[in-house]
């Protein structure tokens, strides 16, 4: 997958400790805790465990609220690169057909337009980076996607 290729590329970068993107990385814990935590990556194993799709990491974390305990599980979202002016859409709004990924976009005449898109990585488990195919001001369908078809007239409801 695209994410696996990016992880492997990051692992093969011998100078990853000097990359500013790997400092102050946001952490998320399986346990509910009251504060956000950030850490600095200090070690990354040179290979991926193919049975689980994981890689061993070591991260320095300041436990200033004394909420972190031994044995807690943490998820680290490693940034691969920063995309200026990235377009994010709800991942659930994307559909797939034989040609690839697409969105149903609502044009200025409130008609549905089948729009092929190129996708990037998943962001925060529910948003997808769109590399091409739509503009930042595009409106797209997020509900009742099985009921709409290309060219159909709709009454859009804007949700932020």
39 and 62 belong to one structural domain: yes
Q: Which of 93, 86, 72, 81 is nearest to 141 (CA)?
A: 93
User: What mean pLDDT is reported for the chain?
Assistant: 82
Dihedral pair phi/psi, residue 99, rounded to 5°: -90, -15
Count of domains observed in the chain:
2
This model's pTM is above 0.85: no
Instruction: Provide the domain limits for residue 61.
Output: 2-76
Q: Which of 66, 133, 63 is nearest to 93 (CA)?
A: 133
| pLDDT tens, position by position, 76-123 | 776 666 677 789 999 999 999 999 999 999 999 999 999 999 998 888
Per cent of the chain over pLDDT 70 is: 82
CB 14 within 8 A of CB 46: no
Output 84 or 65, whichever has higher pLDDT.
Answer: 65
63 and 112 belong to one structural domain: no
| pLDDT tens, position by position, 117-132 | 999 888 877 889 999 9
The pair of structure tokens assigned to 133 is 């195919």
23 and 95 belong to one structural domain: no
Calpha distance 93→126 (Å, rounded): 10
Please say which residue of 51, 76, 101 terminates a domain: 76
For residue 41, how many C-alpha atoms fall within 13 Å in the half-sphere facing its CB? Answer: 25
């Amino acid at each position: 997958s695209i994410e696996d290729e990016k992880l492997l590329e990051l692992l093969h970068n011998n100078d990853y400790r000097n990359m500013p993107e790997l400092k102050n990385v946001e952490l998320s814990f399986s346990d509910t805790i009251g504060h956000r935590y950030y850490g600095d990556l200090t070690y990354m194993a040179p290979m991926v465990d193919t049975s689980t799709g994981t890689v061993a990491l070591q991260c320095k974390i300041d436990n200033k609220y004394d909420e972190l305990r031994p044995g807690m599980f943490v998820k680290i979202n490693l940034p691969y690169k920063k995309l200026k002016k990235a377009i994010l859409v709800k991942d659930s709004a994307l559909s797939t057909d034989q040609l690839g990924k697409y969105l149903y976009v609502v044009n200025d005449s409130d008609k549905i337009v089948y729009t092929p898109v190129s996708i990037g990585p998943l962001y925060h488990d529910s948003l997808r980076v769109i590399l091409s195919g739509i503009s930042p001001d595009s409106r797209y369908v997020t509900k009742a996607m099985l009921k709409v078809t290309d060219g159909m007239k709709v009454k859009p409801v804007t949700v932020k």
